[in-house]
Amino acid sequence: MDFEMGPRADELRGQLRELIGDELPERFPGAFTDDPTDLAAAQRFCRVLAERDLLCLSWPEEFGGAGASVWEQTVVREEMWAHHEPRGAQYMGVNWVGPIIMRHGTSEQQRSHLPPIAAGEVIWCQGFSEPEAGSDLASLRTYARRDGDSWVINGQKIWTSYATMAQWCFLLARTTRVGDGAVTKKQQGLTIFLVPMDNPAIKVRPIRTMMGPHHLNEVFFDDLRVTDADVLGEVDAGWSIVADVMAFERVGIARYARCERLLAAAPEALGQRWDDLPAELIARWVRMLTHCRRARLMAYRVVALQAGGRIAPGDASAYRIAVTRLDQESAEVLMEIAAEAPDDPEAQWFRAEVEDHWRYSQAATVSSGSIEMQRILLSRALLAVPR
C-alpha cells in the first residue's frame, strides 16, 4: 500500500509544529486537566487554526473549510494527536459531526451547525451509550415520543465525553419500539436528534475517573422537547447514520501518531542509560515502532476508501483493533522504559507523558466501541456473502 500524501504534506507538518510551538504553553499537558487555563489554551488554539483555514482543512469552502485533500486533513489529524491533541474536544466536531451533517443534514442544519464548527466556536458531545446499552447500542432505552409537531425525549446516557462543556449533543433515541408497525429489529426505530445542551431539561453529572475532569459524564433527559427540525436524516432510520459515525470516528483518532512520537523520544529521554536496557525490552520497543507503521497504513486505507465515497465498517474495525492493541502494548513497553529514565527535566517530561498515555490506554478496549465488538464487526465483514 503506497499512499501519496501530496507535495504539501511536509510543508504543512512544519507549519503545524511551528504553530504548536508558538501558540501553546511549553510542555502543553492537554486540555482536560484540573487547570482551566489548559482548556482555554486549547480553545484559543482552535480559533487560530480556524483563522488560518487549518481546523477543517478538507471541508468544502461553502461550509467553512479550505477544500483541501483528505490527505492534508490526515496530516493535521496526525500532528494534533502526536502533540497531545491541542484542539481539545473540537476534534469530534471536525472529524465526524461535521462530515455526518454534510452527508445527512438538511440545508438549514448545514447552515446552522457547520460554520461554528469550522470556526472552532462550538463543542459537541455524543449521546449514544446508556446503562446496559454500550456495546449493544441498539438496546438503548432513551425514548422520544411524538407530541403534536414536537418530540418529547426522556432517558439517560452514560460515558458521555465533554458533556460539561459541550453546546450541542448528537443524540440517538428510540422513536418506534420493536414490534410496533414495521419495526421488527432493535436496529430499526432509532433516530438522531441534534439538541442544545443548555436546555434546562438536560442535566449532566460528571463521573470521576483517573483520566481527569471533563471526560466522562452521565446525561439525563427529563421531558426534553425538540422539533422535526432537530431530526438528522429520516425518523426511525438513525442506525444507518450510526454506522457512518463509527467509520469516521474510529479512523479520526490518530493515536498511532502519539505512540510513535513517544517511542521515538525514548532514546533521547534516557540518554546514556538507553544502552543499558535489556535486549528483550529494546526488541519490544522496535516491535512497537513496526506496529505504529502498521496502524498508520491501515488508517490510510480507510481514509482512501472514504475519499472515494465508500464507508467500510470492516476496514474501520480492523484499524480500530490494531490501534487499540498498539495503544496498550506500547504503553506497557514505555512504562518499563520510563522507569529507567534519569532524574532530569527532559526525562521528567517523558515520564509524565508516558504515564498519561498509559492511563488513556486502559480505556482503549472499550471506548468508541469495545474491541470485542470490533472483532465481531470485522468477522461479519470478512464472512459476508454477496447477495
Supply the pLDDT for residue 387. Answer: 41
Q: Which residue has the higher pLDDT, 367 or 203?
A: 203
Say how far apart CA 301 and CA 192 lie, in whole Å: 28
Supply the pLDDT for residue 295. Answer: 92
Supply the pLDDT for residue 217. Answer: 93
Is the pLDDT score of 257 beyond 80? yes
Supply the pLDDT for residue 141. Answer: 95
C-beta of residue 74 within 8 angstroms of C-beta of residue 5: yes
The helix/strand/coil state of 84 is: coil
Residues in the chain: 387
**Across the strands, what pairs with 224?**
153
Known catalytic residue at 234: no
Is the pLDDT score of 312 beyond 70? no
> What is the arithmetic mean of pLDDT over 293-313?
81
Q: Which domains does the chain have, with CATH numbers?
A: 9-122 (1.10.540.10), 126-238 (2.40.110.10), 254-383 (1.20.140.10)
**pLDDT above 90 coverage of the chain, percent:** 63
pLDDT tens readout for residues 109-162? 999 999 999 999 999 999 999 998 877 889 999 999 999 989 999 999 998 989
Is the pLDDT score of 317 beyond 70? yes
Return the closest-CA partner of residue 195 out of 99, 112, 111: 112
pLDDT tens readout for residues 325-334? 999 999 999 9
Supply the pLDDT for residue 284. Answer: 98
Say how far apart CA 97 and CA 92 lie, in whole Å: 6
Say how far apart CA 22 and CA 13 lie, in whole Å: 14
* Side-chain half-sphere CA neighbours of 301 within 13 A: 16
Residue type, 247: A
Q: Which residue has the higher pLDDT, 307 or 367?
A: 307
Is the pLDDT score of 22 beyond 80? yes
Supply the pLDDT for residue 362. Answer: 83
Q: Which residue has the higher pLDDT, 287 or 322?
A: 287
The helix/strand/coil state of 26 is: coil
Supply the pLDDT for residue 132. Answer: 84
Say how far apart CA 259 and CA 108 lie, in whole Å: 40
Grid coordinates of 187: 436496529
Determine which one of 72, 78, 85, 249 is catalytic: 249
Q: What is the DSSP secondary-structure string of 246-301?
A: HHHHHHH--HHHHHHHHHHHHHHHHGGGGGGS-HHHHHHHHHHHHHHHHHHHHHHH
Say how far apart CA 214 and CA 31 lie, in whole Å: 9
The helix/strand/coil state of 370 is: coil
First to last CA, the chain: 29
Supply the pLDDT for residue 212. Answer: 65
CA 6 vs CA 65, 70, 168: distances in Å: 18, 10, 35
Look over the chain and give the mean of its residue pLDDT values, rounded to a whole number: 89
**For the chain, counts of helices (H) and of strands (E):** 12, 8
Q: Which residue has the higher pLDDT, 62 or 212?
A: 62
Q: Which residue has the higher pLDDT, 296 or 3?
A: 296
Say how far apart CA 301 and CA 319 lie, in whole Å: 9
* Side-chain half-sphere CA neighbours of 278 within 13 A: 7
Q: Which residue has the higher pLDDT, 87 or 372?
A: 87
Q: Which residue has the higher pLDDT, 135 or 70?
A: 70
Supply the pLDDT for residue 305. Answer: 81
* Side-chain half-sphere CA neighbours of 206 within 13 A: 12
Q: Which of the four pLDDT bands, split at 50, 70 and 90, describes residue 15? A: very high
Q: Which residue has the higher pLDDT, 136 or 211?
A: 136
